[in-house]
Amino acid sequence: MSLDARTQGLLLQFLLSCFVFLSSIEEGSAGITSSFIRSEWPSVDIPLENEAFAVPKGYNAPQQVHITQGDYEGKAVLISWVTADEPGSNKVQYGKSENKYQYTAEGRMTNYTFYKYKSGYIHHCLIEGLEYSTKYYYRIGSGDSSREFWFETPPKVEPDASYKFGIIGDLGQTYNSLSTLEHYMQSEAQTVLFVGDLSYADRYQYNDVGLRWDTWGRFVERSAAYQPWIWCAGNHEIDYFPYMGEVVPFRSYLYRYPTPYLASKSSSPMWYAIRRASAHIIVLSSYSPFVKYTPQWVWLKEELERVDREKTPWLIVLMHAPIYSSNEAHYMEGESIRAAFESWFLHYKVDLVFAGHVHAYERSYRFSNVNYNITSGNRYPVADKSAPVYITVGDGGNQEGLAARFIDPQPEYSAFREASYGHSTLEIQNRTHAFYHWNRNDDGKKVPTDSFVLRNQYWGSNGRRRKLKKHYLRSVVDGTAK
Ligand SMILES: *[C@@H]1O[C@H](CO)[C@@H](O)[C@H](O)[C@H]1NC(C)=O
Ligand SMILES: *[C@@H]1O[C@H](CO)[C@@H](O)[C@H](O)[C@H]1NC(C)=O
Ligand SMILES: *[C@@H]1O[C@H](CO)[C@@H](O)[C@H](O)[C@H]1NC(C)=O
Ligand SMILES: [Fe+2]
């Protein structure tokens, strides 16, 4: 039996298209642009007098209480708060049982003026030498106006320590911000990795800029007083207002939200690193110099050398402007930092890069664009097993609203994208596995939407897995396995 040429041609085409279809599933390269359309709540800031910003009762009561990691390893906590009426005490009393405060630490006070706004008295107190995996209670303020909080220290830095991080970006202080924050607090995550653009106070003018930093401090206290928020700066942290006579970028957030940068040998609070449980977290500044020879470049080069994947298998980078984003908003603003650092991310096998800035959600496949150079013309990102997964979570819910327009067609590197509000969680199980979730804020309801199982870039590779198995079997034989 013989088929005519035309039928043969069609058959061949059919077989070929089946092959292409199957292989694209294998590579997982068919990205999804979510069809979810949010019935937009107005993205307006909550009014000043709303209870979300309530000032705690009592004369000079501490307000805007928040904590962050205070050292490199997770055995210190930096506690910050503001008093409005007078400087008051710089002391923190703390201990391991409620109402029993065995220890006292003394902090320092700072304040600033911005235009005619005078900040309250801003206190920072470092408490050190804490035990791992321990709940501590702390008290600040004095007499009837004192307030009590608690936090839990992370487990010791070791490769199989499990830990749950939350990732929030571009939060602001709208009703959407409030519901995102409430959803995050239901997640039972233990530490927030905040990818920049905190309060959006810089959208205001004159004295209102400072006032909106104060409301934001009271707004996030419900979470930030009880667990560390790891701060990364965004463009809304620049505070540059020539028309108000503020002609030097001011960075008022640094008075309020200090970071433990000296512990990682950094020269600036805007870029630094911490180790927490089984993760090494590197915080970069998209709005500070990062080209070759600048302090941030030199520091990052050295910090990447200090990463010890035998102790901290998970290598996570935070920055504000995303490198791989296919949203029309802020298109290619991350390209210069990509050119500076992407080859290092591949070489050191970074697991995840979280960014904000674009007010939508997007997750990439493992892709790289290091082949691109200005003479080769190889300008398309390619699948690359050494590359991190890039995740944009600039969807906290601030007053600028959503970035709803994605570029069509969806580029190959883009795995999932959706223009709505939400937050992410990263649940590290052990050195090889982590579970990742993005939770859409669906008109006020929390809906798990995008998720995947992450294999560690260092321990997940076949060679090391085999080595790990052998090691594990040997310890079973030795009777040393738990
Ligand atoms: C800061 O506080 C001190 C002590 O109360 C006060 O003398 C000073 O004027 C304040 N400075 C600013 C910039 O508000
Ligand atoms: C530029 O890219 C081409 C093609 O990938 C490569 O052969 C060449 O070595 C690159 N040039 C430099 C200076 O790295
Ligand atoms: C790591 O966690 C994953 C997911 O919970 C589990 O399947 C795997 O067996 C764990 N590996 C080890 C070595 O415990
Ligand atoms: Fe931004």
Locus of tokens 């013989």: 2
Confidence of residue 250 (pLDDT cuts 50, 70, 90): confident
| Structure tokens, 163 | 């830990």
Segment 237-250 mean pLDDT: 88
Token pair in block for residue 90:
């710089």
Q: Which residues pair with 127 in a beta bridge?
A: 77
Instruction: Say what the pLDDT of residue 471 is.
Output: 60
Residue (of 320, 233, 316, 258) closest to 69 by Cα position? 258
pLDDT score recorded for residue 19: 36
Binned at pLDDT 50, 70 and 90, residue 8 comes out as very low
Percent of the chain with pLDDT over 90: 80
Mean pLDDT on 456-475: 68
Radius of gyration (C-alpha) of the chain in whole angstroms: 24
What are the C-alpha distances in Å from 362 to residues 32, 57, 220?
10, 42, 25
CA 13 / ligand 1 centre spacing (Å) = 78
pLDDT of 135 higher than 80: yes
Q: Residue 444: its pLDDT value, please?
A: 77
Residues 6+ apart with CB under 8 A from 332: none
Residue 391 has pLDDT above 60, yes or no: yes
pLDDT bracket for residue 6 (50, 70, 90): very low
Q: DSSP readout, 178-212?
A: HHHHHHHHHTT-SEEEE-S----GGGS-THHHHHH
Strand-by-strand arrangement of the 32-33 sheet: 32-33, 414-418, 361-364, 389-393, 352-355, 314-318, 279-283, 272-276
- What are the pLDDT digits (tens) for 294-350? 999 999 999 999 999 999 999 999 999 999 999 999 999 999 999 999 999 999 999
CB neighbourhood size of 360 (10 A): 26
Ligand (nearest to CA of 429): 3
Q: How far is the CA of 319 from the centre of ligand 4 (A)?
A: 10
With cut-offs at 50, 70 and 90, classify the pLDDT of residue 373: confident
Whether 112 is in the pocket of ligand 1, judged by its Cβ within 6 Å, is yes
Q: Is the pLDDT of residue 477 over 70?
A: no
Q: Which of 330, 359, 423, 437 is catalytic?
A: 330
Q: What is the pTM of this model?
A: 0.91
Over residues 176-184, the mean pLDDT reads 96
Q: What's the CATH fold of domain 162-196+270-482?
A: Purple Acid Phosphatase; chain A, domain 2 (3.60.21)
- Residue 470: its pLDDT value, please? 60
* Distance (Å, whole) CA 217 – CA 233: 16
